[in-house]
Structure 1
Amino acid sequence: MDDEPSLRDRLIDVGVDLVMTEGSAALGLREIARRAGVSHGAPRRYFPTHQSLLSAIARRGFADLAARIKAATAPTPDGARTPREQVRAIGREYVGYALEHRGMFELMFRHDLLDSEKEAPRDERPGADGNDAADRPRLRESTLPMFEVFVGLVERCRPEHGPAGQPPAVTAAALWTNLHGLAQLWTWGSLPLALGTTTPGGDHLDRLVSAVLDTHLGPVDA
């Protein structure tokens, strides 16, 4: 029989596989329990609510995306990337992740479902495995650092203020919103239709990401 901590991890592993292959709509507690080979009530020992299990699954997505962004923004053999190059790399990885892992991407940013104030206290109580869930990173603690890195890079691109006198955090938020919309519209098929392409990525996406940066940070030669 598996020990208790490994069962918690297996439930998350099953959820990750489900969302990657079948989308976020497939993430029912009963289905996750069935595929993990346990009773339908077993997940409640580790995840007191459906939202707390979804949050744990989404954190895996953020860890994956963060690793990709870290690799994409790492110094090259020729030296460190400029802030502008790092912002572009983040944007390309962000949109690329959305195309490759649509179900996980859709789940990751649903804070209204995943980590609401109503669910947080119950999600932080000690788990059945004897480990305090409060010792594990909260979902918001997985997302905010990524945005803070983004703000810092935007500030370095525009040390004083971004376009229209906006502070870096607002410019970064607008840029993020634009990238997220780009990712969603591409995965839904709207942008490929508008651009007359069926290619899932490539030059069209590179040009669109560059256009987003030009819009919010100004052209490179500005």
Structure 2
Amino acid sequence: MPEPDSSLRARLVAVGADLLAREGTQALTLREIARQAGVSHGAPRRYFPTHLALLAAIAQVGYQQLGQQVAETIDARGDTEPYDQLLALGRLYLNFARTNHGMFELMFRRDLLRGNEIGLREASQGLFAVLVDLVSRARPNVPDAPAPSVVAAALWANLHGIAELWQWGSLQIMVRTDNVEPLLRAALDAHLRPAATPTRG
């Protein structure tokens, strides 16, 4: 009995996500995904008109995973201060980048976000909205201060840079430590001022 289209499409995406985790983005060719899924090399074209469309579907898996982890982290810390929620969110983001390097790289590829094949921009914007909300509560508006969305964007760029440079080993050389926590706290404190930052023991 033929496999339903939806099942085969989902299998191609799942195989691609697994291949990405094992071998990195360079392994994500249509031919290799089809081979590992046990279908003809032309089969993926029936569900994904372009290679980018398949890559975007695989990246969507990463956004779903990260989004679920973010929601669980926020729910678990719903009664804590916004600063502490941001700290937990930062740890989660850096850990996700470290343990899902291939997926992290794919999720933020410019050609995928620009093409927006299956809503990657919307997924990214949803996660960004969570960050903006926490920043707006951790750093109330003060005269002449940047808007919460600007502060959140700067903080995100900082965290993303830490994730990438840490992955390459560059920051460890410069700061002479294998502990990323001080960098995370420094980034938060820098972007949350001039609002008072809770004292940490």
Match of 1:69 in 2: 70
One-letter amino acid of the counterpart of residue 88, structure 1: L
SS at 1:150 equivalent: helix
Instruction: Give 1:2 deviation, angstroms.
Output: 2.3
Instruction: Give 1:161 deviation, angstroms.
Output: 4.3
Q: 1:212 aligns with which of 187, 195, 199?
A: 187
Deviation string for 1:143-175 (max 9, x for gaps)?
10110111111111122149x621111100000
Distance 2:114 2:46 in 1: 20
2:78 is aligned with 1:98: no
Q: 1:169 aligns with which of 129, 140, 149?
A: 149
Give aligned pairs, total: 196
SS at 2:114 equivalent: coil
SS at 2:79 equivalent: coil
Distance 2:161 2:112 in 1: 20
What is the TM-score of this pair, normalised by structure 2? 0.90
Relative to structure 1, is the Cα distance of residues 104 and 8 closer, same or farther in structure 2, using a 3 angstrom cutoff?
Answer: same
Relative to structure 1, is the Cα distance of residues 142 and 190 closer, same or farther in structure 2, using a 3 angstrom cutoff?
Answer: same
Aligned residues: percent identity?
Answer: 48
One-letter amino acid of the counterpart of residue 114, structure 1: L
Match of 1:158 in 2: 139
One-letter amino acid of the counterpart of residue 39, structure 2: V
Aligned residues: CA RMSD: 1.9
Superposition misfits of 4+ residues, deviation over 6 angstroms: none
Q: Would the aligned equivalents of 1:158 and 1:217 in 2 still touch at CA under 8 Å?
A: yes
Distance 1:115 1:166 in 2: 26
2:63 is aligned with 1:85: no
Relative to structure 1, is the Cα distance of residues 49 and 115 closer, same or farther in structure 2, using a 3 angstrom cutoff?
Answer: farther
Distance 2:112 2:41 in 1: 20
What is the TM-score of this pair, normalised by structure 1? 0.82
Which deviates more from structure 2 when the two are superposed, residues 6-15 or residues 204-213?
204-213
Q: Which runs of 5+ in 2 are unaligned?
A: none
Q: Would the aligned equivalents of 1:161 and 1:167 in 2 still touch at CA under 8 Å?
A: no
Match of 2:16 in 1: 15
